[in-house]
Structure 1
Amino acid sequence: MKRLLGPRVARNLANASEVRVEFDLESQPEIVQQAVGYALQAWDIAKGWLLSPEAWSQFALLVVAYLGAVFVARKLRPLLERLLDPGETQNLLTKPRLFVMRFLALLLPLLAYVFTGIGESIVRSIFDSGAVIAFGKRVFLFLALRALVRDIFTDPFLKVFGRYVLIPIGALYTLGLLDIVQAKLTETVVQLGNISFSVMSIVRGLIAGSVLFWLGRWSNEQSTQFIHKQEEMRPSLRQLAAKSVEFIIFGIAFLLLMNIMGINLSALAVLGGAIGVGLGFGLQKIASNFISGVILLVEGQATVGDYVELDGGEAGTIIKMMARATILETYDGRWIVVPNEDFITTRVVNYSDSGSGNRYEAEFSVSYDTDINLVPDIIEKAVATHPGVLDKPYPPDCELRGFGDSGIDFAVEFWVNGIDDGDNKYTSDVLFLIWNALKDHDITIPYPQRVVEIKGGLPSS
């Protein structure tokens, strides 16, 4: 601090040591003695500034720099807003211009910082001292940091990070205490077995880790959106590419974090070996599910959006494929979490693979009084009018199935693209068409009939 405050303040600090002798602080705790010492130093610094013509000239220069920054900002900001405001125009430069426009909140403090820096070089050349104006520069820089957190950061994580990390660090730097705090944290060492950390490295790791993994998450979101827009790729390949990019991004972030914290990766060899043994024994199911998920994504036999039915009875639409499991959503709104291994080791029916159609059938009966030779043509024409029924691979086909107790049994087979459940009611619609077609041609749909024979005749009354 003496280096920053100049020779005059250094002499005042020397005098402060003489003043401390007059107080009896030996019986007080060490923290009280330090607090009193810092208070006396602060008083001497303030008194030295108040009584120094050099300090007053620097204060005046700070005021002039700030007023000059206010004047220039008022003239410059409307011009920049007109240049950056895209209005109703939408093009590739719209988002970048709006992004740059948000940083206009930093215009005033940064201009004041620049003007103060120019004045500092002049003051130091005249008085060989610039402690006050250097402090002013740090204040303007702190105001710029505060505006950045308050007005520019919109992401919730960045706002919390700025409020509880950046602003406290900026306050320490402004007061000239940052180097002292760093030195104290560096001297404090935490020992964990064979690995030792300084508190400063832990703090630096927490800060860097937060920033790196936020950047990793943001980069992963952007890359995932870009990959999913590539319609020429198969859905399974898009999923695999997105997962691969995610692992690469967070792997790089982890390695950078280890480097920033100063941890030698060879020191983690034992831990890595232990993890490998754990994967081989206790975590083998997780490893198996992870590898099965990669196989699913590579082969593309089931992907997001497919309706599948597993051998165990689970059925639903795949809505998410994760590293360990796949999530199915049933038509009644329930989610089923299925381990990826089940898709590899058991039989899976995919109703949506490659957009292929699915065949369904609707059964009905007609009375024995009907000319059954007319029924297939009537029903096939009626079912073909449904907009969801396909002509390929086969048109509707009405088949005679048998002679029942009450009527003659038929069934019509038809192909559709989709599942007969949820929003689609193909079988129900086809049955309506069959009913109306039979009624239009005066064909009777039978109901159960029984003939009861009473032996011996009816009892006499």
Structure 2
Amino acid sequence: MDTQSEVITQALDWLDQAGHIALGWLVSPAAWSQFALLALAYLLARVMAGRLSAALTKLLTPKADAQGLFATARRFALPFLALLLPLIAYALTATGESLTRTMFGSGEVIAFGKRVFLFLAARALVSHVITDPFLHLLGKYVLIPVAALYALGLLDQITLALAETRVELGNIQFSALSLIRGVIAGSLLFWLGSWSNRQSASYIKAKQELRPATRELAVKATEIVIFGVAFLLLMSIMGIDLTAIALLGGALGVGIGLGLQQIAANFISGIILLVEGQTTVGDYVELDGGEKGTIVKMTARACVLETFDGKWIVVPNEHFITSRVINYSDQGSANRYQAEFSVSYDTDINRVPALIEAAVAALPFVLQHPDGPDCELDGFGESSVDFVLEYWVNGIDDGLNKYRSHVLFAIWNALKAEGIEMPFPQRVVHLRPAPAA
């Protein structure tokens, strides 16, 4: 209750002071002359802003299909024309204030008008220039109120009151002003960090000459540096002693050692994967547990595999380090597969290898290097002679491209064209006569 009474009393005092100042201005001839100068400065600013705005709009507006850095810069500058009127009025009023103080020794009214024009510039900036949702929110609830308090001449008093209000969190002590300033600065810093991280990630990922693993490592290293610097700057702005952060870091280290060792292991494993580059985004892998899929994302904790049926499997990074992983893409995109088929015992099997190799080699996706199609005799079955065809392709079989299906069609068509039978299982049954009674 005492605190509320003090606030109310202070507010009433401010209102009383404002009333006395306004009454003094109303009965003072010097104040009326300064009001006239303010009105003159505003009218002159409107005329100048109108002419400058028309000329600058024509100069800054690019063609509709214009691209490139210069066109982007012109489009970025166009909304700032909304600031011309209040800024020109502010500049004219500042000049008038210096002349008034020199000639008459007073200039409170014109100084108040100058601050009002600065407030109008802040409103125009938030309303017409800032388009980012977060910055617009920050401008609406922080910048405009601060500009209003400055225009009313209350900013210094409120700042002093907040600076004298102390906030204690354990051994850490800071003022309410530092807390508010830290929240605002932290919001700006981490927004800027997120924006910088997005821009740097886009720039790094566009460098196709770098290996995918190198690009991912550079993106994550940049992210850590950006947000690490933002955090340290925030601590400095809030006035928090960094030795307290060192103690917090020691406690965090103990926590990692005791309860977060799996998270730490996965994080370190992710760094090892990125540094080695043996497994990266876009690789098709098969894990020891039977999981198969293409790596579509690598995070600090896990890798995300996308299977051919569209499912996502989240695999902790540690599994890629401590277990066996088959990477079908690591040594290049060429992979060897095989297709089995059989012919009847009535076939001249000496003709089969050349026939099948020629038919499969004609398929556009089958490679001749490192080796062309190779048809080999696999064995003699109960009802057929068994062959196996080995072939090389670019990509993963039985997935998006389904090479095996095309190869089997080619084998079938080649055998049918030559009249070679692909037998089905057969049995010979001997009926023995019953023994004589």
Matches within 5 A, 1:294-309: 294-309=271-286
Aligned-pair CA distance for 1:317: 1.2
The residue number in structure 1 matching 2:41 is 65
Q: What residue is the counterpart of 2:85 in the other structure?
A: 108
Structure 1 residues 29 and 148: alpha-carbon distance in aligned structure 2, compared to 1, 3 A threshold = closer
The letter of the residue matching 1:412 is L
Q: Residue 50 of structure 2 corresponds to which residue in structure 1?
A: 74
Indicate how the Cα distance of structure 1 residues 422 and 50 shifts in structure 2: closer, same or farther if over 3 A, else same.
farther
In 1, distance between residues paired with 2:128 and 2:173?
40
* Matching residue's letter, 2:320: F
Matched, 1:423 2:400: yes
For 1:388 and 1:105, the matched residues in 2 are separated by 61
Q: CA deviation at 1:407?
A: 2.3
2:389 is aligned to 412
What is the CA distance between 1:200 and its match in structure 2?
0.9
Equivalent residue number for residue 368 of structure 1: 345
Give the drift of 1:453: 4.0
SS in 1 for 2:240: coil
Matched with 1:399 is 376
Q: Is the 8 A contact 2:336 2:393 kept in 1?
A: yes
Q: Name the structure 1 match of 2:173.
A: 196
Distance 1:421 1:41, change over 3 A: farther
Where does residue 44 of structure 1 map in the other structure?
20
Query: CA RMSD, aligned part only?
Result: 2.0
Give SS of 1:353's match. Answer: coil
Give the number of equivalent residue pairs: 430
Amino acid at match of 1:96: A
**Which of residues 216, 221, 242 in structure 1 aligns to 2:198?**
221
Q: How much has 1:430 moved relative to structure 2?
A: 1.0
Distance 1:165 1:195 in 2: 26
Q: Please say which of residues 176-185 and 51-60 is displaced more in the overlay.
A: 51-60
Name the CA distance, whole Å, in 2 between partners of 1:410 and 1:82.
77
Structure 2: stretches of 5+ with no match in the other structure: none
C-alpha displacement at 1:429, in angstroms?
Answer: 1.3
Aligned to 1:433: 410
Q: Quick one: which amino acid aligns to residue 259 of structure 1?
A: S
Of 136, 140, 148, the residue aligned with 2:117 is 140
2 CA distance for matches of 1:349 and 1:251?
36
What is the rounded CA distance, in whole Å, between the counterparts of 1:73 and 1:308 in structure 2? 64
Aligned equivalents of 1:268, 1:395: Cα separation in 2: 63
The alignment status of 1:170 with 2:147, answered yes or no, reads: yes
Q: Which residue of 2 aligns with 1:446?
A: 423
1:363-383 CA-partner distances (Å, limit 9, x unpaired): 222222222222211211121
* Cα distance, 1:232 vs structure 2: 2.3
Deviation at 1:56, TM superposition (A): 2.2
Partner of 2:285, secondary structure, is strand
- Choose the corresponding residue for 1:385, options 358, 362, 387: 362
Counterpart in the other structure of 2:30: 54
Matched, 1:205 2:177: no
Aligned-residue offset at 1:34: 4.3
Q: 1:122 aligns with which of 91, 99, 103?
A: 99
Which TM-score applies when normalising by structure 2? 0.93
CA deviation after TM superposition for structure 1 residue 171, in Å:
1.9
Letter in 1 for 2:384: G
Q: Give, as a single letter, the amino acid of the residue that structure 2 aligns with 1:235.
A: P
- 1:98 matched to 2:75? The reply is yes
The structure-2 alpha-carbon separation of the partners of 1:454 and 1:148, relative to structure 1 and needing over 3 Å to count, comes to: farther
Question: Secondary structure in 1 aligned to 2:300?
Answer: coil
Structure 1 residue 201: Cα displacement: 0.8
Identity of aligned residues (%): 64
Match of 2:325 in 1: 348
> CA 1:188–1:29 in structure 2 vs 1: closer, same or farther (change >3 Å)?
closer
Task: Give the Å deviation of 1:32.
Answer: 4.9
Corresponding letter in the other structure for 2:58: R
Say if 1:286 and 1:30 are closer, same or farther in 2 by CA, change over 3 A.
closer
Distance 1:268 1:69, change over 3 A: same
Query: Which amino acid in structure 1 is aligned with residue 34 of structure 2?
Result: Q
Which ranges in structure 1 are unaligned for 5 or more consecutive residues?
A: 1-27
Cα distance between partner residues in 2 of 1:41 and 1:355? 80
